[in-house]
Structure 1
C-alpha cells in the first residue's frame, strides 16, 4: 500500500485526537485487506509522531482478546483518564483567608506580594496548606483572581530592565575612587558600609532636598531634609547624622559611597573628622549604589516626583522612611531592615 502523505494529519507533541484515532483505525483496516502489517515506525512516519505514541494507542484501543484496534475504545479510555487532569484546579478558594490578608497588607501597609508571602511563611502566620507561594500570587494577579490588585499596581513589575555595564572612566571623580574600596564591601557580609544620594521633589528654585543614606547589609534607610542641593547643605545633613551617632559614628559608618554630583564635593571632609572612609562611584554608574537607588524608589511611592519636598513635614518624611525600614525583604530572610539594623546596633553599643 502506498504510505506516502502530502499533509500532516497529526501535530507532533500533541495528544492524539478523536479524528486521528479513526484515521488510524481506517489505515489499519486497509492494511489488513492488503495482507500487510505495518510496523510502529512506519505508522509513526505516517502520523508524524513518535513510535511510542502509536504503541500507547494500541494499548489504549486494542481488544484484550482479539487485539483488534478500536478508535471508539481508545477514545473512551482517553476521556476517562483525562476527565479530571486536563486543567489543574486553582487553589484560590481554599486559601481565601490568606488572600484577604495579602490584599490587606498590600493595600494598607504597601507591602509587595513577595514580602507578604515570605513574611507569612517565615513567621508561620498560616498553615502551609492554607497558603500559596509568591509566584502563584503574581499569577493570580495576571489571571485577575485578586480583583483589587492589578499589574499596574505593581510598580516594579512593569519597569524592570537590565543596566549596561559600561563605565565612563574619563570624567573627573571628586575624591577617592570606588576602585580603591575593599572588595569585601561588595559581598555584603560586613556591617557599616553606606551609600548616599539626594532626592529632589520639583525642579523649582527654593525647594528643599532629601539627603538619603542606605546601609548595604541591612538596607537600613535614612532620609533627612536639607535646605538645597548644594555641597554645604549636604555637609549640614551629614553633620546631623554624625552628631546623632556620636562616638560610635565610625563604627556604624565605616565607609560611605557617593556619586560625582557637585553636591558631594565636600563630603570627603567627613573622613577628616572621623575614621569613616569616603569613596566615589564611577560617573553614570548608578548601579554601583544600587541599594540606595532601590530605597529611593520605595520612597518615591509615598513622595512622588514633581511634588515639592518643602510641602512635606518632618513627620511625613519619618513615616515614609519607617515604612521602607519595616518592609520585610526577601534578601534579609523576610526580616525588615529595622530588625536587622537594630541587631548590629545593639552589638556595637553593648561593646
Structure 2
C-alpha cells in the first residue's frame, strides 16, 4: 500500500509561533478538540501538538469553596500558551553545545601567564599541561585551537607576544612553476 495522501502537510523545521500556541489554547480549552484534530487543523504532526500541550499544561483552580474551617479547591488542567512559550524559550536557551573556551577559563589564565611571563610557545604550554595533567577535570585544547583563540582575542595574549609567529614568514600564495631539468 502506498501513501499518496498525507494527513498533514510537512512543516519540518518550523517551530510553533506564539499565535499558533494561542490557537491551540482556543481549540483545546474552549472547543475541547483532541490533539489529532488540533494537529490536522494546524497542519502539524500529532506528536508536536502532544509535546506542546504536555509542556504548556498547568493546574488552574476552577472553584474554591470554604466550608467551615476547611477549604476545598476544584482544579482542572488547561493549556496555557504563555507557559508553552516559556518552556520553548527555556529549551532553546539550553540547546546547543557549550564552547570549549567557555569551560576552560582556568587553562586560559594558565596559558596567558606561561606565554606572557615565561615566554613559552603555545605548543609547549599545551604539551606541559597534558603531560603534567594540570587540568584533569577540564579538557585541554590542542595547539591549533590555542592559536585560534589567540587570533580571535579570547586571551590576553596577542600575536605580537608570540616570538616565532612574528618572525616566521608565512607561505607565499604565489604559484611556483615547476622547472624541469634536462640532464
User: TM-score of the superposition, structure 1-length normalised?
Assistant: 0.30
User: TM-score of the superposition, structure 2-length normalised?
Assistant: 0.50
Larger Rg: 1
